[in-house]
Amino acid sequence: MYGNTSVLIMGEVKRRKNLGIPPREKTEDIKLPQLDKKAIQQKVRSTLYKYPIIPFLFYGAAILILIGGLFYVFKSFNIA
């Protein structure tokens, strides 16, 4: 029983060596694209200058979500 488990737990390198297969070729590392923070900041700022209402809409939506969450908590726990 223990002899069979050692074969099952054997690593890939030992298995390849026992089978006479050459070592696996190393794959090339994937290079992630570099982000240009300055360009992204300029795009965001130009969008905000073009549409100055966006921050007000964002904060308004956040406040509505908070109020809705509080209403849900009060309603579900029967606090009021």
Asked if residue 4 belongs to a domain, the reply is no
**Taking the chain, what is the end-to-end CA distance rounded to the nearest angstrom?**
66
Asked if residue 2 belongs to a domain, the reply is no
Asked if residue 74 belongs to a domain, the reply is yes
Asked if residue 50 belongs to a domain, the reply is yes
Structure tokens at 45: 């700022």
Asked if residue 46 belongs to a domain, the reply is yes
What domain range includes position 63? 34-80
Each residue of 19-67: pLDDT tens digit? 888 888 887 888 888 889 999 999 999 999 999 999 999 999 999 999 9
Each residue of 60-72: pLDDT tens digit? 999 999 999 999 9
Residue 25: per-residue pLDDT: 84
How many domains, in total, are found in the chain?
Answer: 1
Asked if residue 6 belongs to a domain, the reply is no
Out of 7-16, 44-53, 70-79, the most confident range is 44-53
Asked if residue 8 belongs to a domain, the reply is no
Residue 8: per-residue pLDDT: 59
Structure tokens at 38: 């300055």
Q: Do 50 and 38 form a contact (C-beta atoms < 8 A)? A: no
